Chain A
Amino acid sequence: MAEPLVWPDGGITEVPYRIYTDPGVFEREMDRIFCGRSWAYVGLEAEIPEPGDYLVTRIGDRSVVITRGQDGAVHGFLNRCAHRGVKVCRERRGNCRMFVCPYHHWSYDARGRLKGVPFVKGVKQQGGMPEDFRREDHDLPELAIATRGGVIFASFARDMPSLERYLGETNTAYFDRVFDGRALRVLGYARQRIPGNWKLMFENIKDPYHASLLHVFLVTFGLFRADQRSQVRMDPSGAHALLISRRGTQQASEHTRDIANLREDFVLEDPRLLDPVKEFSDDATVVMQTVWPNLIVQQQSNTLALRQIQPCDPGAFELHWTFFGFADDDEAMTTRRLRQANLMSAAGLVSADDSEVIKLAQDGIEHGGTGKGIMLMGGRGTDDEPHMVTEVALRAFYRHYREVMEL
């Protein structure tokens, strides 16, 4: 039998490796973090524009259907038939008036309310449901929905604060910086299954320390460097974070000494790959926003993407990338976004480093016995920092994690 998990004495500067491998911890995470009091990203309004449109996604380990009802509003429900537990909706996307379970044809409306049970009164006075069966007792669990700037969030909790309060002032402002009300245009999807614990993905995006070392491509082309003017900002809870930076040049400096393999001589044969243009009013060229419990909003130069984390088990998660632009982008901008997407996702010149290193992290953790990792870069605090040489956002994340998990 497993011993109860005891957090190390170092508090939020230390993380016990067991939280990346323990099935009991994982189960608690699904209940408390993903399906508890959180707003989980589930999709874009642009993906379900018409009444009857739906998409299927996951919140934590749970399959959910997000719909646009005949009333034009966005709804959501658990994708599991109230009768025998069958997945009601099998297509990833579609349009329908009613959701009919394939097994016994129980049918549900866009809010997951049970509308039909075949043979409920029996056939030729035989069979049928008992007299006390009430259809309305078997609606599917409905999700609370919040939308902002065309982005849809859902929650299993019924008493959630507004999305704006949930994100906090700073994170709402940066969210609005990208989702400013312009119509979005989905450019496409990329989806990977990464053999690592889901928290390693958040840690990765909350950790600017690694970005200026691991990502030789970013560093080489000055897209993200430790010596650039940068900030790490969080919301008061520590759940969400922002890494904000500015593009520099392809030059070594006294500050890049520690970067063993900065490639000053790497000149692109076709420089169209990196041809960024300024498109936001401030001077930040990189903003990576992590939104508890499952979303990363990426703006790296002109590549805009939402990365959704769908945990599978303690040792694996799926990462679902939705690349987008705006409906009013000209062709040159769309092409630019598509070219810069070469840096991202499963074959990304930059993010391949991350999926590879996350696998190595999980490998190391699983094959090293008990132990703990340390997060001391930039001190022990959890306050915003005006630089990149810090693990402050990881400490803030784990402060919040421990509260929610009561660990």
Chain B
Amino acid sequence: MTSADLRFELEDLYAEYARLLDDGPLEAWPDLFTAESLYLVIPRENHDAGLPLAVMRCESRGMLRDRVRAVRETIMYEPRYLRHHITQIRPEPAPTGSEMRVTAHYTVVEVLQDELPRILSVGRYLDVVVRDAEDHLRFAEKRVVYDSVLVPNTIVYPL
């Protein structure tokens, strides 16, 4: 595979990721991860200091599905729309073995039903992408490191 093909393929993966979170179906979002994947949403403050606490921590695709179900069925929140903007998708120059480290920047704009749009979160994705048995790129690891010290109220949907 040429480097250009790989870049298009990664571009598609991140576009699909954003589409599923922003426009749904949210239930299909965990399918972009491997069964044993690790998904963390972690404040930069903790990441930089080597502190392990994440505000979302899913250690398998099953935990991602549990999170989605809680969003659908148990959490009480004001209706909202999110819009992900993912840029600077950058695979590491020389992938080692079957794993590829990828970094990207993201901005998530949140629109609460009666309010003006605002930035909910801005930061980096520090990802590990692998190719599954069906030749699809999937996330084996995704660390969402947000730059702000404070979260504007609540993070309901995954970032």
Contact = CB atoms under 8 A, between A and B. Distances in A.
Name the residue among A195, A220, A342, A357 with the largest chain B CB count within 10 angstroms. A342
Nearest to A334: B52
A214 B153 contact: no
B65 A269 contact: yes
A192 B74 contact: no
Interface string B48-62: 010111111111101
B82 interface: no
A188 B52 contact: yes
Contacts of A377: none
Contacts of B56: 342, 347
B94 interface: no
Interface stretch (A121-129, A133-141, A237-245, A348-356): A348-356
A117 to B, nearest CB: 33
Interface in B40-95: 41-43, 45-46, 49, 51-60, 62-63, 65-67, 69-70, 73-78
Interface stretch (B20-28, B103-111, B144-152): B144-152
B51 A188 contact: yes
Interface size class of B (residues with CB under 8 A): 35 or more
B66 A268 contact: yes
A261 B75 CA distance: 11
Contacts of A359: 78, 153
A188 B43 contact: yes
A172 to B, nearest CB: 28
B121 to A, nearest CB: 10
A51 B155 CA distance: 38
Contact of A341 (B57, B59, B60, B73): B57
A107 interface: no
A269 B153 contact: no
Interface in A344-372: 345-349, 352-353, 355-357, 359-360
Contacts of B43: 188-191
Contacts of A268: 62, 66
B156 interface: yes
A345 B53 CA distance: 11
A350 B155 CA distance: 12
A225 to B, nearest CB: 14
B154 interface: yes
Contacts of B63: 269-270, 272-273
Interface in B94-122: none
Contacts of B77: 352-353, 356
A196 to B, nearest CB: 9
Given A187-B52, A187-B53, A188-B53, A193 B152 contact: yes
A246 B65 CA distance: 28
B66 A273 contact: yes
B55 A216 contact: no
Contact of B151 (A191, A214, A266, A357): A191
A42 interface: no
Nearest to B158: A347
A349 B76 contact: no
Given A270-B59, A347-B55, A190 B74 contact: no
A226 to B, nearest CB: 17
B150 A192 contact: yes
B151 A346 contact: yes
Contact of A270 (B42, B45, B62): B62
Contacts of A347: 41, 55-56, 151, 154-156
A217 interface: yes
24 contacts: A188-B49, A188-B52, A188-B53, A189-B43, A190-B151, A192-B150, A195-B153, A214-B76, A216-B75, A220-B74, A261-B74, A266-B69, A266-B74, A269-B62, A269-B66, A270-B59, A270-B60, A338-B54, A341-B54, A342-B57, A346-B155, A352-B75, A352-B156, A353-B76
What 6 pairs across the A-B complex have the smallest Cβ distances?
A188-B53, A269-B62, A270-B62, A188-B51, A346-B151, A347-B155
